[in-house]
Amino acid sequence: MTPNLYSEIGILKKVMVHSPGPEIDIIVPEGANELLFEDILFGEMAQEEHRAMCNVFRKYGVEVLEIKELLITALEAASKEVVAALVDELQLLEHLSLQVVKKLKSLTPKQLAAALIEGILLDKHLMDDENLYLLKPIPNLIFARDPVIVAFNRILASSMAEPVRRREAKLMIFIFTNHPELILDKPIIDLHQLGTEGTKLSLEGGDFLVLDEDTVAIAWSRRTSLKSIQLLSKELKKLGVKNLIVAKLPNQISFIHLDTVFTRISEDECLIYPPLFAPESLTRADIFYFDLNQTEFKEKKYDLIFDLLNDLKIPLKPIYCGGKNNLIAQKREQWTQGANSFCIAPGIILTYSRNINTIKELSRAGYLCVNASEVLSQTFEPNFNQKTAILLKGEELCRARGGPRCLTHPLYRDRRLLANANRRQN
């Protein structure tokens, strides 16, 4: 397989997701923070919301790939030795007991996939407040964006900042090296192989945006280190990337990734969190530009990201998360992922219905704002020439601290529409 991801906005053809499963239902309040959740979710409702998102994709002709099903197929296709090696790798990574390793190696591919995602509970008679799991679940796999990075025609192996998410990255690499239909034509770019021994590296998919065929934006954030960006820049140059934008985000939990504060939504628009990017803000993020055509990694600092984008001939108009003049609404709706949108096509986006001030701004910008339930009705016909914001009911998904872009990882976008951007009717 050759991925095809040369922008954030090309017509979506194929996307990976992980629907929330039993791993969501076994998170207890005391253990939520350790698993990077700030609350426990109502799993049945989260599944319903996620299912609606996937059905919207299908309505627009998108092939939806479920990560758990991909993993089962990859485990079935791999030899027993390769599967055992995966378990051994996870043993080293997570310091698993011999009891757990023996149990995992005895499971069928379907059972093993379930165990590696959903965890294994201790026997009820052995449970206590401190011990619930024989093997911990990985509920953050719902955020399919982070464990790998699909960019251009390659897969980049993420380096997860938090230990509880590192199993996700291993499973995704296993899929792309063993699934019969997803085995890659070119090797995975593994960040760990680029650094020297002992170098602490972290880079996650939510911090990585392909703005166009020449330009990548990456956040220097809580989850992505500057050293990782520097190492990756050399590989990006080999892929033909000419321009690298680095946005230094404040070290706050609400700004966990770049896509929580900035997403591109059309040929000439982006959603932003105003305090970090708006021209009138006094608290803007630091913006650095790196010309990858140069032999040395030297930055040029910009006060405003839109000045840099104009210089790169990517003129984007900002649409304000939370509205233009209400700081409280901006903060609240950024927290509930108002700036985190996902494109089905240029100007066809998914966003959460609860962010009413953001939706008003989208409407003012010419977007038809329509609930997902209406999109899924028999009478609705997708119109790629009408800017559309599809409003997902994400009350439970939102509480997991991720938006539509976090929940999705595109594998293939059609590049041809970008050449015909002027045909859009606003």
Q: What pLDDT does 272 receive? A: 98
> Which of 54, 63, 50 lies closest to 11, judged by CA?
63
Beta-sheet pairing, 189-190 with 269-272: unpaired
> Average pLDDT in the 87-101 region?
96
What distances in angstroms separate CA 101 from CA 130, 326, 370, one per listed residue?
21, 53, 49
pLDDT tens, 271-301?
A: 999 999 999 999 999 999 999 998 887 899 9
pLDDT tens, 217-229?
A: 999 999 999 999 9
Residue 198 has pLDDT above 80, yes or no: no
Taken in order of first residue, the domains within the chain and their CATH numbers are 11-415 (3.75.10.10)
d(CA 33, CA 408): 23
Q: What is the dihedral sign for C-alpha 141, 147, 153, 154?
A: negative
pTM of the model: 0.94
pLDDT tens, 379-408?
A: 999 999 999 999 999 999 999 889 999 999
